[in-house]
Structure 1
Amino acid sequence: MGLDRHHMLSLHNVFEGLRLGLCDFSGPSRVALIYAQKPGEPLRVVDPQNLLEGHEPRLREYYLDSGEWAEGLPDPQHVTYFDQAKSKRVGLAGLISLGGRSPGVSYQMWFTDRHVDLCSPGPSRRWLELALLQFSHNLAAQDILALDSVAHMLQEMAPHAVHDFIVDERSQSIGPDTRLRVYNILGAIMQISKTPEEGAWARGLLAFVEPARLSRLHYLMRFPKAERPRLDNGKHVRKMLQTVERSRRMLVSDGEHIIGIATGELPAASLCALFNGRHGLLFLDGKLVCSFSDGAFQSTNRKPNLVILEEALLEWPLDADQRDALFGSVSRIVACAGEQKYGCALIVDPYTPLLPLSGHTLEAPLNLENDEQLALAAALAKVDGALHLSAVKNQLCGFACLMDGPSFPGEDRSRGARYNSALRFTHSHPELIVVVVSSDRPVSVMQKGADISRPPVWPAVPSMLRPPPTLEHWLSGPA
């Protein structure tokens, strides 16, 4: 079957808008789609960056061998718009997926990367849902003049995806009858996060509670009804946040006004914004929804990503207890550096005896399983130079250590001296691992002269998508 120009333009604009929006929300992200426009047509695959690569056996089983994908799906002519509840998720490891049916498109299943630092897959699924709806609408409407704005609209959908996820979750918890206006709350959070007070950025907890449940809180103080600060007065609310900084107290809002200051547990379906200076975290019922910084919502939980270090340690001759203890110590030091925004480097040394290094040695090594000594190790990381850790004993054996080595072609001139010193050092000592923390949060893991934590390079998305192959042809691979 040939695909007409309107079909290809609709597919390209929805695909690119979704991909670029998710890249802004979650960092570099890929998108893929399996779909059939009309009943009885073969399924087609859109995957220009190889997101589905490695999942071919499961896709063949799910879509071709068993026909499991079609079980329980309603007739698309009897679906008012779409039905995602009965469109089963394929369940591919490391991916987020969402599908549905509609009169415009008989079947769609969208996929994107599930990042290791994701707060919650919920907003990303709502984004996939928006793409599903838009693609269905575009093919059903056949309005080519409306296609120009589709990509731009989907690219800017972060607040709407977060909003839709929160509304859906709260509706399941307490029903649709709610007086909290989530769009207004999200707008107020953005305004407060961008409002400094005497040169300092917002810190503290701001809770949004369903008005009918406000009486369940333990208040330390309440404002008279006529004097309650309005939530949309961001400057006033920002000033009030100073009263709960670095404490267990929280400002409480009904979504329109600040009610007072309280402590203790919150009722079900409550939203909380935790402001941490230039960034913050948004919670629903104590579970992370997303983070926010620089006037935008993001999917990251802002924790250092050390998964690649954990994988690299599996190659070393350590038992499970040694590996877990070492990984926990490194993670704590890295997290401390990120929270206090200083750069540092950690040399993880598997040798016995340790590699001799130029730097400050200790009369007795610090036992990193001791909390007090681990905190001291994190403080020593602030001194110029690297920490020297024994992988076998989980000890700090030196600090302010110099990492030197001859220049080699794998250096990255776009990065700083600490980063390139670690590259040179691990190139000269391939058995070591060096973890580099930059003051602006990125964490790099070096081994054998390479940054093994660097994201893979994916194929570029073409300027216009090509007609997608059928699933059967795609699974058969290149001829």
Structure 2
Amino acid sequence: MIPDRHHMLCLHTVLEGLRLGLCDFSGPSRAALIYACQPGAPLRVVDPQNLLRGHEPRIREYFLDSTEWQDGLPAPELVAFFDQFHARRLGLAGLVSLGGRSSRVAYQMWFTEQHPDLCSPGPTRRWLELALRQFTTSLCSPDVMALDAASNTLQEMAPHAVHDFIMDERARAIGPDTRLRVFSILSAIILISKTPEEGAWARGRLAFVEPSRLSRVHFLARLPKSERPRLDHGKHVRKMLQSVERSQRLLVSDGEHIIGMAQGGQPGQPGQGGQGELPPGTLCARFNGRHGMLSLDGSPVCSFSDGAFHSTNRRPNLVTLEEALLEWPLDDAQRTALFASVSRLVAAAGEQKYGCALIIDPYTPLLSLAGHSLETPMPLVGEERLALAAGLARVDGALHLSAARNHLCGFACLMDGPSFPGEDRARGARYNSALRFTHSHPELIVVVVSSDRPVSVVQKGVDLSKPPVWPPVPSMLRPPPTLEEWLA
């Protein structure tokens, strides 16, 4: 049966709402769906931006060559409304997936990107869970006007996805009986992160402990009940954070008030002097100025900045560098040492918010560059030498690294080369100099760190870390092909 107009409108609205919401939460993202409306009906594929391309062998094996995708699923007539707990996940490299079955839609499996800098796939799966439910609800309802509400809900899902994931994980850790109001906590975290104090943004840690487990916290100081700041008084809590700024201490809250100050430590990891262990189920927000990280029992959940939650762990993404180094004639020890040194230098630049460039040179002998050379190349081993190299990276110009020996050979090196059509005038001089330089010296790799965090890996005049250009999503989807047609 060919899907009718209402069916296609539901597909387009839910898919586009999901994609736009994930783009805000995780950066550029795609979404895809494999589904069947009726038992025994052929599976159909909705993949307007080719997210699933490259995974055809595993998809064929999972859906066509076996009944693996149906294992454990209850009969549709036994599903009152929705069942996702019995649907198996399809493990595809680089993708997050979630499947389910309802009384109206016999099977759905939604997919999206698993970005390299993802804190946790949990909130993203909660997003896919809502897409499952919204698609089922939209098909059951003839009200076309309700589709806009479904799309808007999916686009504004970030705090709900984070909330649902935290609630699920805390229920597993300490049981479903909890008094922490997670929605109120998330709102308070965003409010505090947006509240400056004497021109400075919030720094320090704030832990949210289950009220019944406060007796397990080793308090350095507690406040009287009558004087405890309310959590929703963001200005007051922001002032209190100054007492634990740049220290191992943290503020402790029961989800409604600030209880006191304690020695910091992760669950199961004692603080100084054997004290400071936080009880299981503790939610902790670390404020780092204009951004921060949210963790549960020491495991990262998401980050927050600019008044919103994001999936990124805010670490530099050097996956493309790691892949490029695999093509060089280096042994495993050389490659590992070089990548560790570059990662440390890039991380230092990101933490201290300065721009720099690193020229990674595989030549023997090394390329002769204009700049300051060292009388004896310095091995990039040990914190002291790496800290010195990070300091030299602040000087205008690029660091010159020997790939084979993991040595710093020069600093303040100039990168020049003739202009060519691949330049990007939307980026700065350091970035375009790297493009020109590697276009003239195709064997080199240049890592460019911008002061506002983006990291680019440039080789042969091309930015390897630049996201690919995907086909735009059409304003109205065409009837999706069956899985057999799509594979063919």
Corresponding residue number in structure 1 for 2:37: 37
Q: Report whether the alignment pairs 1:325 with 2:312.
A: no
Equivalent position SS for 1:20: helix
> What are the within-5 Å matches in structure 2 for residues 325-364 of structure 1?
325-364=337-376
Between Structure 1 and Structure 2, how many residues are aligned? 476
- Conserved? CA contact 1:366–1:374, under 8 Å: no
Deviation at 1:392, TM superposition (A): 1.1
Deviation at 1:141, TM superposition (A): 2.3
Aligned to 1:372, which of 361, 373, 384? Answer: 384
1:365-401 residue CA offsets vs partner (Å, 9 max, x unmatched): 2211121011000011011100011111111111111
Aligned to 1:457, which of 450, 469, 474? Answer: 469
Equivalent position SS for 2:62: helix
> What are the within-5 Å matches in structure 2 for residues 180-195 of structure 1?
180-195=180-195
1:175-207 residue CA offsets vs partner (Å, 9 max, x unmatched): 111000000000000000000111111000000
Equivalent position SS for 2:73: coil
Deviation at 1:120, TM superposition (A): 0.2
1:250-270 residue CA offsets vs partner (Å, 9 max, x unmatched): 000000000000012210010
- Conserved? CA contact 1:103–1:140, under 8 Å: no
Equivalent position SS for 1:290: strand
Aligned to 1:306, which of 318, 323, 335? Answer: 318
Q: Show structure 2 runs of 5+ residues with no match.
A: 264-275
Equivalent position SS for 1:148: helix
Equivalent position SS for 1:51: coil
CA–CA separation in structure 2 for the residues paired with 1:434 and 1:145: 52
Corresponding residue number in structure 2 for 1:428: 440
Deviation at 1:456, TM superposition (A): 1.1
CA–CA separation in structure 1 for the residues paired with 2:356 and 2:362: 20
Aligned to 1:394, which of 406, 424, 441? Answer: 406
Give runs of ≥4 in structure 1 deviating > 3 Å: none
Amino acid at match of 1:445: V
Equivalent position SS for 1:50: coil
Corresponding residue number in structure 1 for 2:270: none
CA–CA separation in structure 2 for the residues paired with 1:353 and 1:93: 39
Deviation at 1:145, TM superposition (A): 2.3
CA–CA separation in structure 2 for the residues paired with 1:435 and 1:265: 40
Q: Report whether the alignment pairs 1:167 with 2:179.
A: no
Equivalent position SS for 1:281: strand
> What are the within-5 Å matches in structure 2 for residues 26-425 of structure 1?
26-263=26-263, 264-425=276-437
Deviation at 1:340, TM superposition (A): 0.5
CA–CA separation in structure 2 for the residues paired with 1:224 and 1:473: 69
Amino acid at match of 1:280: G
1:439-466 residue CA offsets vs partner (Å, 9 max, x unmatched): 0000000101111111111111101111
- Conserved? CA contact 1:44–1:468, under 8 Å: yes
Equivalent position SS for 1:65: coil
Amino acid at match of 1:460: P
Q: Show structure 1 runs of 5+ residues with no match.
A: none
CA–CA separation in structure 1 for the residues paired with 2:2 and 2:416: 60
CA–CA separation in structure 2 for the residues paired with 1:238 and 1:364: 50
Equivalent position SS for 2:64: helix
Deviation at 1:41, TM superposition (A): 1.1
CA–CA separation in structure 1 for the residues paired with 2:287 and 2:81: 39
- Conserved? CA contact 1:423–1:451, under 8 Å: yes
CA–CA separation in structure 1 for the residues paired with 2:163 and 2:196: 25
Equivalent position SS for 1:101: strand
Corresponding residue number in structure 1 for 2:267: none
Amino acid at match of 1:94: G
- Conserved? CA contact 1:430–1:448, under 8 Å: yes
Q: Report sequence identity in percent.
A: 77
CA–CA separation in structure 2 for the residues paired with 1:185 and 1:393: 50
Deviation at 1:471, TM superposition (A): 0.7
1:4-28 residue CA offsets vs partner (Å, 9 max, x unmatched): 2211111111100000000000000
